[in-house]
Amino acid sequence: MRTRTGIPLPFLPAVLAVLASLLLAGVALAAPVSLTATLEGGDAEVPPGDPDGSGTAAITIDADTREVCWELTTTNIADATASHIHTGAAGVSGGVVVPLDVDGFSGSSEGCAAAPDEADLDAILASPADFYVNIHTEDYAPGAIRGQLAAAGGTPPDTAVPSAEGSPLVGAGIVLLLLAVAGGLRAARVRA
């Protein structure tokens, strides 16, 4: 009498569907989130910053690696002494949550750094508008220009957070799993 080892053939599609859904969920979780900010001086800063200063910030957050990358540009301000992401809604001054370029720069800066606190990253991803990018200069130490974070491309913040919950890829994996299980059970009944 011949014996078989391993996964019974009727259940092979179910096993493959489970593996596929796990792989697809991993892909959905790994997507970095892009945020932007239009930087302004004057009354946008608290206290008021450089009256003719402006700039842009592009921030990319990878929640899996806790890495924050930035591309900053400035116009009509003195050399930057530092830049950070601060907590605070528009018109409100708040504390530093993510240091960006802390060595200073002239005109533009780009780089990446590890975020010091995972909870802060989660809070930024959940509600970017509650945080702002601030560029500091020697003559405007509290901040020369600043701008509130927003999801890049107009994507609403709640869909910008990488998550397996509600992902169409995970949903497709579940449907495939159910179809494979149903097919496997049907095949098992036919053999019995």
The answer to pTM > 0.85 is: no
Same-domain pairing of 119 and 175 = no
> Which two tokens mark 187?
């095949």
Same-domain pairing of 139 and 183 = no
C-alpha dist (Å) from residue 179 to 6, 57, 140: 21, 46, 63
Residues 80 and 78: their CA atoms lie apart, in Å, by 6
Structural domain count of the chain: 2
Residue 158 belongs to a domain? no
Domain that holds residue 60: 32-153
Q: How confident is the model at residue 15 (pLDDT cuts 50, 70, 90)?
A: low
What is the per-residue pLDDT for 3?
Answer: 54
Q: Are residues 68 and 98 in contact, defined by beta-carbon separation less than 8 angstroms?
A: yes
Same-domain pairing of 52 and 110 = yes
List pLDDT tens digits, range 102-121: 999 999 999 999 988 889 99
Asked if residue 59 has pLDDT above 80, the reply is yes
Range with lowest mean pLDDT among 7-16, 129-138, 161-170: 161-170
Same-domain pairing of 131 and 68 = yes
Residue matched to tokens 């020369």:
144
Asked if residue 154 has pLDDT above 80, the reply is no
Average pLDDT over residues 62-68: 92
What is the per-residue pLDDT for 164?
Answer: 42
What is the per-residue pLDDT for 31?
Answer: 84
Range with lowest mean pLDDT among 25-34, 61-70, 91-100, 102-111: 25-34
> Which two tokens mark 20?
């596929």
What is the per-residue pLDDT for 167?
Answer: 47
What is the per-residue pLDDT for 117?
Answer: 87
Same-domain pairing of 46 and 136 = yes
Same-domain pairing of 37 and 124 = yes
The CATH number of whichever domain residue 75 belongs to comes to 2.60.40.200
- Which residue, among 71, 81, 156, 142, has the nearest Cα to 112 in the 3D structure? 71
Residue 123 belongs to a domain? yes
